[in-house]
């Protein structure tokens, strides 16, 4: 389970650490930074999917995403002065990270260095593309020098050498562990970096898997305690996607798997051309697509998993209505039988609110619960009467997945039964725990978590690029 998400330098999130508990409901006034928090998690997910630079580019590029205020606001805040620009001391940097029960991860994005010397003659058209400057994976809640497992600075990725046997390293691997990987875990000489595979991305691919390390590979372990995995990771590549494999860096693979499982649902389209309204060729669909195009197939998959949740969720919301999934020439569509109607309504005929509710039902009743599900303003265009059934669905989903709901709706928050923050210490955390409220507030353009003080901010360290 994620225990915190940290963001620095992204839009109004100049420097925040948001604690997470199991079912967290993020709220706040318009412009307080809710969507930015949602988008930061999406960017983090982009690292696990190999698409963080593309995700950032699609939202306008690094320059527009970077915190637009001064590097420090302390003086203006204390003296009540107008905010004035100050000379930036540190490098331009957008940092994102999370802590979880077992691993933490952070990524530090920046602008490319100005081309100079040999490169200056052939300027790249992608000079404005952000670059990944640094990535770190650590064990435990906070990054400390002793807890770092894998670190990346520019193109160089290093993993802590396997010294002796250490359960943190190889433990919990489950079925995919092969003989070779258990061998290096117990053999300090044959470190993971000694067996770098032959990928084109590496300048020096190293010996083939399974062979003894060459002297050159031993030499590369210059920094005591660290083994180089590569020197040539390209600036747009994340170590999570490029280097994660069970032999060289099992912890990268675990972090990537976790991140890849995260599911995001944000403002489903419900206009007349919406993908969810069009009958689609259906196959078994345990995970609703993020644009909802496979709604009917996803609902049918839920139904065929057994259980009555789907029928209950529909009847609960629409006054005893019954949902059918029709198949015509292989194309799946929904048919909603509502009391008082002479015929069922198809996907194309449903109201926006009804369609959105069905989409949320399909997302939340998934037969394949993700480790984390994030919903951005699920209340959008729902009839107020649907908020209570929606809250019941969210609470049920939170028994099986960690859930974060970003919401502007007081009624939805009330229906979710957000626990009183004053009893914070006594409220259990984890799956199925009571909903917690996180209120974002903005002060001098900067987002803060309301009520958060030194003692209640989760411990977090960004480290430095040097």
Q: Which is nearer to Mg ion, 158 or 377 (CB)?
A: 377
> Measuring CA to CA, which residue among 388, 393, 389, 403 is closest to residue 436?
403
Q: In the chain, what is the greatest distance between 2 CA atoms, to the nearest angstrom?
A: 81
60 contact partners, CB below 8 Å, separation of at least 6: none
Neighbours of 52 (CB within 10 A): 25
| Residue 403: CB minimum distance to ligand ADP, A | 18
Count of residues that bind Mg ion according to CB under 5 A: 2
Min dist. Cβ of residue 461 to ligand ADP (A): 23
Look at the block and give the residue holding tokens 């259990």: 428
Task: Name the residue nearer to Mg ion (CB basis): 419 or 438.
Answer: 438
Contact pattern for Mg ion over residues 16 through 55, marking x by CB under 5 A: ------------------xx--------------------
Residues 345 and 314: their CA atoms lie apart, in Å, by: 14
Question: Is residue 439 involved in binding ligand ADP (CB under 6 A)?
Answer: no
Give the nearest residue (CB) to Mg ion.
Answer: 35
* Residue 191 binding result from ligand ADP, Mg ion, none, given CB thresholds of 5 to 8 Å by partner type: none
H/E stretch holding 394 reads: helix 387-397
Task: Specify whether the CB–CB gap between 302 and 362 falls below 8 A.
Answer: yes
| Residue 42 sits in the site that holds ligand ADP (CB under 6 A) | no
Q: Is 461 in the site for Mg ion (CB under 5 A)?
A: no
Min dist CB 27 to ligand ADP, Å, is 9
Instruction: Give me the least distance between CB of 26 and Mg ion, in Å please.
Output: 10
Nearest distance from C-beta of residue 406 to Mg ion, angstroms: 7
Cβ–Cβ contacts within 10 Å for residue 339, how many? 9
Question: How far is it, in rounded angstroms, from Cα 241 to Cα 244?
Answer: 6
Mark 56-65 as b/e (b = at least 16 C-beta within 10 Å): bbeeeebeeb
Which listed residue (21, 34, 133, 395) binds ligand ADP by CB under 6 A? 34
Closest to 47 in 3D by CA, of 98, 8, 1, 10: 98
Minimal distance, residue 74 CB to ligand ADP, in Å: 17
Interface region with ligand ADP, contact rule CB under 6 A, candidates 65-73, 80-88, 105-113, 166-174: 65-73
Give the interface with Mg ion as residue ranges (CB under 5 A).
34-35
Residues that bind ligand ADP (CB under 6 A): 11-12, 28, 30-36, 64, 66-69, 445
């Amino acid at each position: 389970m994620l225990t915190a998400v940290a963001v620095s330098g992204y839009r109004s999130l100049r420097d925040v650490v948001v604690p997470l508990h199991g079912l967290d409901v993020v709220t706040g006034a318009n412009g307080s930074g809710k969507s930015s928090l949602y988008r930061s998690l999406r960017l983090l997910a982009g690292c696990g999917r190999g698409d963080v630079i593309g995700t950032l580019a699609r939202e306008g590029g690094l320059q527009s995403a970077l915190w637009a205020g001064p590097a420090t606001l302390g003086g203006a805040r204390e003296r009540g002065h107008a905010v004035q620009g100050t000379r930036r001391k540190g490098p331009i940097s957008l940092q994102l990270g999370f802590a979880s029960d077992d691993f933490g991860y952070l990524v530090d994005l920046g602008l490319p260095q100005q081309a100079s010397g040999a490169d200056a003659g052939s300027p790249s058209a992608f000079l404005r593309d952000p670059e990944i400057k640094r990535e770190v994976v650590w064990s435990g809640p906070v990054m400390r020098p002793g807890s770092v497992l894998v670190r990346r600075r520019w193109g160089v990725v290093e993993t802590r050498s396997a010294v002796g046997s250490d359960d943190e390293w190889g433990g919990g691997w489950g079925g995919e562990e092969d003989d070779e990987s258990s061998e290096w875990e117990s053999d300090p000489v044959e470190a993971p970096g000694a067996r770098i595979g032959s990928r084109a991305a590496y300048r020096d691919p190293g010996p083939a898997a399974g062979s003894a390390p060459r002297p050159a590979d031993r030499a590369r372990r210059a920094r005591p305690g660290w083994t180089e995995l590569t020197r040539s990771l390209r600036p747009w590549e994340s170590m999570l996607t490029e280097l994660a494999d069970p032999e060289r860096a099992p912890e990268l693979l675990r972090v990537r798997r976790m991140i890849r499982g995260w599911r995001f649902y944000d403002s489903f389209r419900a206009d007349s051309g919406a993908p969810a309204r069009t009958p689609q060729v259906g196959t078994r669909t345990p995970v609703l697509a993020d644009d909802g195009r496979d709604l009917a197939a996803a609902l049918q998959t839920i139904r065929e998993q057994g259980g009555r949740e789907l029928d209950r969720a529909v009847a609960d919301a629409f006054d005893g209505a019954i949902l059918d999934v029709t198949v015509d020439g292989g194309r799946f569509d929904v048919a909603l039988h509502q009391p008082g109607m002479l015929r069922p309504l198809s996907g194309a005929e449903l109201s926006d609110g009804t369609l959105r509710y069905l989409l949320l039902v399909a997302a939340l009743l998934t037969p394949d619960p993700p480790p984390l599900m994030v919903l951005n303003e699920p209340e959008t265009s729902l009839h107020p009467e649907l908020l209570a059934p929606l809250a019941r669905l969210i609470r049920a989903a939170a028994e099986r997945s960690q859930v974060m709901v970003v919401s502007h709706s007081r009624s939805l928050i009330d229906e979710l039964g957000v626990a009183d923050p004053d009893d914070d210490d006594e409220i259990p955390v984890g799956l199925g725990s009571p909903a917690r409220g996180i209120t974002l507030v903005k002060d001098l353009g900067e987002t803060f978590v309301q009520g958060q003080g030194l003692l209640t901010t989760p411990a977090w360290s960004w480290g430095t690029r040097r």
